[in-house]
A and B are shown apart, each in its own frame.
Chain A
Amino acid sequence: MTERNTSSERLSERDVDRLLQRFFVREVPAEFRQEEAPVAIANPQLEPLVRSATPTPSRNLAGLLGILVSATCCLIVTLFIPGESTEKVSTNPFPVVGGNTRPQPDADRSVPFEERNHLPFTSLGNPDDATGSETEATDPLGPELEIEIFPLRPDKPRE
């Protein structure tokens, strides 16, 4: 039985706290220390378990980095590739004037320019049919006026 030590200072709770921290730094095997690299163990059968159980912060960081790089590349590609919506080349030879969005007839290159009508058309029917009634407009925006410039027909009297 060891004699009671009365010469040295009595151990306080704080002393014991510090002592135990120092003690367990070496007492805990490397395999079970937190955030420690895996070490070889005596039993090779358990080695896969030990290696996989060890936390690998570098692996997690690499995965996160990969995701960030991929997202950045996608963003760059999206910004620099010319999209269909950014620039639309209109094939309509009759650009809309004054906000009129009705479809325009295709340009008839055989008709002199001054006879081409840039206004929307509404068919009035063939006056030779003598129906006396306008063709009902089906366009919800309003009737399309089709103004045809007829040369005077010398063989038919004017009405």
Chain B
Amino acid sequence: MTTLPSADADSRLESLYRDQSRELWALFYAYCGNAERAQDAVHEAFLRLQQQTTEEIRDPRAWLLQVGRNWLRDQARRKGNSTIKTDLLDVHPGTREEPVSDLLGSEQRDQIRAALQALKEEDREALILRYALDWSSQRIGETLGSSAAAVDMRLSRARQRLANELEQRGYEND
């Protein structure tokens, strides 16, 4: 049980951020399909947790997840349901982080985002936890409440479905 207004609340919040922020981002990204909006949702959830003074929070992770999703839903209502984001102003081609040969074009990235959003949420979550966070099947299973073998099967099916979705959107394989 977490009671926020205490002498070491800041250190506990810091520890919680360190432990949970990546996973929360991945789950918010699976929910909304927008990397920046998911990042904002993480920040918003922790800000509200920091400002929380009256409620005793039994499960901070679940609380943060719920607050973040609620915020994303509100944002979607205000700005529309567009989840496609152009990233033309992102990292310039040929940077140290990503050689030119590894770059995906903006159109390809948009197609991948759209295809991901077309999947079932559980398939999307499994793919994002694996490829965005590089989690093992066992760890994904612990988060999603299934076994490592079941996660492997889900990932395999999710990849096949994603391939179908990409083909339907005219994705051209390099």
Contact = CB atoms under 8 A, between A and B. Distances in A.
Interface string A7-37: 0111111011101111111111101101000
B17 A49 contact: yes
Interface in A41-74: 41-43, 45-46, 48-50, 52-53
Contacts, number: 111
Contacts of A1: 168
B162 A34 contact: no
Nearest to B20: A53
A159 interface: no
Contacts of B169: 2
B131 interface: yes
19 contacts: A2-B168, A4-B168, A5-B167, A11-B171, A15-B173, A16-B163, A20-B162, A21-B131, A23-B109, A26-B91, A32-B26, A32-B39, A34-B22, A34-B134, A43-B43, A46-B46, A48-B14, A49-B14, A53-B17
Interface residues of A, number: 38
Interface of B is mostly: helix
Given A2-B168, A8-B173, A52 B43 contact: no
A23 B167 contact: no
Interface centre among A31, A32, A41, A42 (most CB of B within 10 A): A32
B47 A24 contact: no
B167 A29 contact: no
A50 B43 CA distance: 10
B127 interface: yes
B98 A53 contact: no
A28 B132 contact: yes
A3 interface: yes
Contacts of B13: 49
A77 B79 CA distance: 70
Interface residues of B, number: 45
B36 interface: yes
Given A46-B43, A53-B17, 20 more contacts: A2-B170, A3-B170, A5-B171, A12-B163, A13-B156, A13-B163, A20-B112, A20-B159, A22-B104, A25-B102, A26-B87, A26-B104, A27-B29, A28-B133, A29-B36, A32-B21, A32-B26, A34-B22, A42-B43, A53-B21
B64 interface: no
Contacts of B128: 24
A4 to B, nearest CB: 6
B90 interface: yes
A42 B47 CA distance: 13
Interface centre among B22, B91, B131, B168 (most CB of A within 10 A): B131
